[in-house]
Chain A
Amino acid sequence: MKIMVAVKRVVDYAVKIRIKPDKSGVETQNVKMSMNPFCEIALEEALKIKESGLAKEVVAVTMGPSNCVDTLRTGLAMGADRGIHVEAARDLVPLSVAKVLKKLVEVENPGLLILGKQAIDDDCNQTGQMIAALLGWPQGTFASKVVLDKEKQVATVDREVDGGLETLCLDLPAVITTDLRLNQPRYATLPNIMKAKSKPIKKYTPEELNVEIKSDLEVVQVTEPPKRKAGVILSSVDELIDKLKNEAHVI
Chain B
Amino acid sequence: MEKWRATSNLRRSLKSILNRQLSSVSEFRYLNEKRSCQSSFNLIRDCKSLGQVNAIQHRCFSSASTLVQRNPSFSTLNFDDISYFKGLLGEKSVIQDEDRLETVNTDWMHKYKGSSKLLLLPRSTEEVAQILRYCNSRCLAVVPQGGNTGLVGGSVPVFDEVIVNVSSMNNIISFDKVSGILVCEAGCILENLISFLDNQGFIMPLDLGAKGSCQIGGNVSTNAGGLRLVRYGSLHENVLGLEAVLANGDVLDMLGTLRKDNTGYDLKHLFIGSEGSLGIVTKVSILTPPKLSSVNIAFLACNDYSSCQKLLMEAKRKLGEILSAFEFLDTEAMNLVLHQFDGVRNPLPASMHNFYILIETTGSDESYNREKLEAFLLSSMEDGLISDGVLAQDINQASSFWRIREGVPEALMKAGAVYKYDLSLPVEKMYDLVDDMRIRLGDMAKVVGYGHLGDGNLHLNVSAPEYDDKILEQIEPYVYEWTSKHRGSISAEHGLGLMKANKIYYSKSAETVQTMASIKKLLDPNGILNPYKVLPHSLNS
Chain A residues near B (Cβ < 8 Å) = 12-16, 30-35, 37, 40, 67, 70, 74, 77-78, 184, 187-191, 193-194
Contacts and interface: CB of A to CB of B under 8 A. Distances in A.
10 contacts: A32-B295, A32-B366, A34-B394, A187-B347, A187-B392, A187-B397, A190-B377, A190-B386, A191-B388, A193-B377
A30 B291 CA distance: 11
A67 B393 CA distance: 15
A188 B297 CA distance: 12
Contact of B390 (A33, A67, A188): A188
A14 B395 contact: yes
Given A31-B293, A32-B394, 19 more contacts: A13-B396, A16-B199, A30-B293, A32-B293, A32-B294, A32-B295, A40-B394, A70-B367, A187-B391, A187-B393, A188-B390, A188-B393, A189-B389, A190-B298, A190-B386, A190-B388, A190-B390, A191-B388, A194-B381
Contacts, number: 69
B381 A190 contact: yes
B392 A14 contact: no
Contacts of B395: 12-15, 32, 34
Interface of B: 198-199, 293-295, 298-300, 345, 347-348, 366-367, 374, 377-378, 381, 386, 388-397, 399
A18 to B, nearest CB: 9
Nearest to B393: A74
A80 to B, nearest CB: 13
A184 B388 CA distance: 20
Given A30-B293, A189-B388, A35 B393 contact: yes
B198 A16 contact: yes
Contacts of A14: 394-396, 399
Contacts of A31: 293
Nearest to B378: A194
Contacts of B374: 193
Nearest to A75: B393
B295 A34 contact: no
A12 to B, nearest CB: 5
A13 B393 CA distance: 12
A76 to B, nearest CB: 11
B294 A190 contact: no
A37 B393 CA distance: 11
Contacts of A12: 394-395
Given A14-B395, A34-B393, A35-B394, A190 B367 contact: no
A239 B199 CA distance: 38
Contacts of A37: 394, 396
Contacts of A34: 393-395
B358 to A, nearest CB: 13
A184 B343 CA distance: 12
A74 B366 CA distance: 14
Shortest 4 CB-CB contacts between residues of A and residues of B: A14-B395, A34-B394, A187-B390, A190-B389
Nearest to B387: A190
A65 to B, nearest CB: 13
B97 to A, nearest CB: 24
A193 B378 contact: yes
A13 B394 contact: yes
Nearest to B199: A16
B452 to A, nearest CB: 23
Contacts of B377: 190, 193
Contacts of A193: 374, 377-378, 391
A184 to B, nearest CB: 7
A191 B366 CA distance: 21
A15 B294 CA distance: 12
Contacts of B391: 77, 187-188, 190, 193
B16 to A, nearest CB: 56
A116 to B, nearest CB: 14
Question: B294, B345, B381, B390 — which one has the most chain A CB atoms within 10 A of its CB?
Answer: B390
A194 B379 CA distance: 10
Contacts of B386: 190
A13 B374 CA distance: 23
Contacts of B381: 190-191, 194
A58 B471 CA distance: 56
Nearest to B347: A187
Contacts of A33: 366
A194 B399 CA distance: 23
Contacts of B299: 187
A120 to B, nearest CB: 11
Contact of B378 (A15, A16, A78, A190): A190
Contacts of B198: 16
Contacts of B348: 189
Contacts of A15: 395
B99 to A, nearest CB: 25
A15 B295 CA distance: 12
Contacts of A32: 293-295, 366, 394-395
A199 to B, nearest CB: 15
Nearest to B364: A30
A30 B292 CA distance: 9
A187 B348 CA distance: 9
Nearest to A36: B394
Nearest to A67: B367
